[in-house]
Structure 1
Amino acid sequence: MPTNVSWGWCKLLGMREVLRGQFVHIIGNGVHTSAWFDDWSGKGPLINIVRRRDIIQADLRLSDSVADIVLNDVWLWPSDWVDRFTVLANLAPLSFSNNMDVVKWKDLNGIPCEFSIAHVWEYLRPRASQKTQDMLKTWEIRDVNGITCPLCNKVPDSHDHLFFTCSYAAQVWSLVVRHFDFPINCYGWRDFMLLLSPFANRNIARFVVIKLLFAASVYFVWHERNRKVFKKGHRSPAQVYETIYSTVV
């Protein structure tokens, strides 16, 4: 990865494999995008196709940017690569502009869009609907009084309780805000979205990390609920926090 990519995007691109494939680089001047390790072609990083040894033997560098491998609208890689690596045959040489390269998030349809916590959550959350008590009510299932939150076993299961008022989730949030120095005072999804709305379109490094932090926290609380429901073990709030921290940082 080029060393002059902003710190905020380094945090995003440095996350685990679960998010790596969701970032795509829109080429402007080609200077700040890795030719081999970033997905700018729509085919994934070229390092997954071309071997490191082939790059070096072709007198190219692993540190090359996209701008480094194009000259006068012609690719600088060996002509026989088109036959050896068929994906390259469909890549027309790029026309650069004076604009900076832009990193975007791919939505569920694979369309590049602006990064937001909503898109990350939509991607991370399990595809199956959450069968909490509040959803069962919409299905007109009457006997739901016995369904309690799997994490605290005290309160009827619901989205707002699970993520914000559950005593277990509260301990996780407490550890998160203590480390990242960001206050949370939420009692439901509406409060949560109002809290995040000032940061929705701000790409300053701190705010980007905060948005990722919130997405990861919600996801791993939900993941822990599923572990408990399906009897795959149970972790302490501190252990869940450690997972959140290692994922984002």
Structure 2
Amino acid sequence: MDSLDLLKKANFWVAKKPTCCSWAWKKILQLRAECRSSFYWRIGNGSSVSLWFDNWHPRGPLNLYFSDLAIYASGLPKQATMANLFTNCGAMIKRVLDSWADPLPTLSHSSDRFGWKGNTSHLFTVASAWDLIRRRKTRVSWHTFIWNNSITSRYQFNLWLIAKRRLPTQALLLSYGKIDSALCPFCNEVLDSIDHLFFGYCISASIAFFWASRCNLPWRNNSWVENLNWAATFLMGKEFYKCIARFSFGALCYYIWKHRNNILFREQSLSVPEVKNQLIKVDKDKATTYRNVDDTYRNRRLQRSWGIDPIIFSARDYSTSASP
């Protein structure tokens, strides 16, 4: 169904949702109730503003206060504009509105102006609309750590799922009634949960200690929440060694989860040396994207721990040869 056919002889704010229409149009119609109060009209000559359905009155759209029967009895049709209110046909409704003690706008020769309450400029933007309708919750302490540019996107997404406890572990699937058993594929003894995988199991704990020793960091295997809060506190900063530590922490969690899936779905065995080698490789590759790194004791120590090429301490050469 065409949107023009849908709005023929009907106002956008109250038009019925058709049974067959595009996904985008259906979503727009679903959001009308949330967004209606965020738009307003600044009255000029009143010829562009719907008397009954637009948000021009201080109390809101008039159709919320007048039934269809009352609108019919008023003598003003549903297609009436604000300008019609100040004619003889609108005298009865005008008396009712005057009795509400809310001042009515006066008509002028200027054009009506459509406005948006979402920002100070009164111009609609997608960003201000999202900020207006989104659900607000308390800001978490780890958001700047996980969504940091030094961490690869797939590592970020994996960390976010873990932090939100939405990673599809068997313990989570068991709580949803999707599976009947939820033993850890590493040990087959306890529940396959986030706290067990990161880093309650002895093997994943040993990999975490390997990571911490390579990053020259003090490490204690606590609960996942405590480990994440520790990382979000002590690994933040623009220093090279902290950037690599943040990146490798994301890689550490990602590869533990990846090898857990390989055991569960591909019937592969866990190889701790392979996990460590993967960590070393991705860290070395990440480090080579840096140049002109400060030649400090901590950076040198990190470079030697991971076997990173010392070229990172030299400036990147951007010069190119002249064309003939």
Q: What range is the shorter-chain TM-score in?
A: 0.3 to 0.5
Larger RCO, structures 1/2 (Cα 8 Å, 6+ apart): 1
Task: State TM-score, norm by structure 1.
Answer: 0.46
Q: Could you say which structure has the larger radius of gyration?
A: 2
